[in-house]
Amino acid sequence: MAIHPISYTNFANKRFLRIKNYAFASKDAVVALVARELPKAAISLPTAFVAQGEGYTPVAVLGVQPGKNLFVRSDGLWVGGYIPAPFRGFPFLLGNAEDGRQVLCIDDRDGSVSESEGEAFFGEDQQPTKAVKDILNFLTQVAANRLATNEIMAQLQKHKLIVPWQIKVQNADKPGFEITGLYRIDEQALNKLSARAIRELQQSGALQLAYCHLLSMQHLPLLGKLAQAHQQAEQMAALPKTETGELDMSFLADDTTISFEDL
């Protein structure tokens, strides 16, 4: 991975390319979310929590096995209804300078930086272009909301509403297995809270986050459907093809593969 801080000295005459697909995220089975995006994410993605230090952070659950994002097709196309903020910001991200300031950086591992194509980093006035300013503003808002998200998660933890979530995955062709390391909201414990505790959660924004998560749990079966679709796509890709890329059906002439004798 090649991550570079963006400065006029190094990027004055260079340009950047917007991402065309999400192949870079194809191995991310989970991705961190911030509270501000939970209402939109919960409409189309299953969400959970993962332990981080002594606390927890909300995540979108994108796969059932490590290293496999089921929402990214083999051609890099995103198939979900919502794209998490870290993916929308790519190839840009915030880094920490030696003096503690946050600086805008770019990850050029996929050839995002160009000498002649794409959008300029800086204008003739040697100032960042509007496109770069908009990206910086977006990432800054996400970073600020992450701090707020940490406070919200602390409220849920304070009221002991976060519990381990053991998810069993059944497979017709292979032995089933469990997804571990995820946490969920204890709905029964939430319903037993006092009016005072509920008010405290509501005022902090934690109640909304909890209900967004509970709503998103209905999308968990979608992962099974996507896993099946990926498996079918891989099987199709393994079929022989002609030089033009079309499926080569000549193998059907081999009567040792398919028999029509009983028709």
Which whole-number Å values give the CA distances from 3 to 96, 105, 107, 119, in the listed order?
A: 12, 6, 4, 18
Percent of the chain with pLDDT over 90: 67
Percent of the chain with pLDDT over 70: 87
- CA-based nearest residue to 21, from 127, 147, 111: 111
Express each pLDDT in 221-253 by its tens digit: 888 888 888 888 777 766 655 666 654 544 434
Total-model pTM: 0.83
Is residue 262 pLDDT above 60, yes or no? no
Express each pLDDT in 184-213 by its tens digit: 999 999 999 999 999 999 999 999 999 999
More confident residue, 127 or 254: 127
Lowest mean pLDDT among 27-36, 150-159, 232-241: 232-241
Ranges of beta strands (E only) in 83-214 are: 92-96, 102-107, 113-114, 119-120, 162-169, 177-185
What is the pLDDT, as a whole number, of residue 208?
97
SS3 80: coil
Where along the chain do its domains lie?
22-107+121-253
Residue 141: φ, ψ to 5°: -65, -40
H-only helix segments in 159-205: 187-191, 195-204
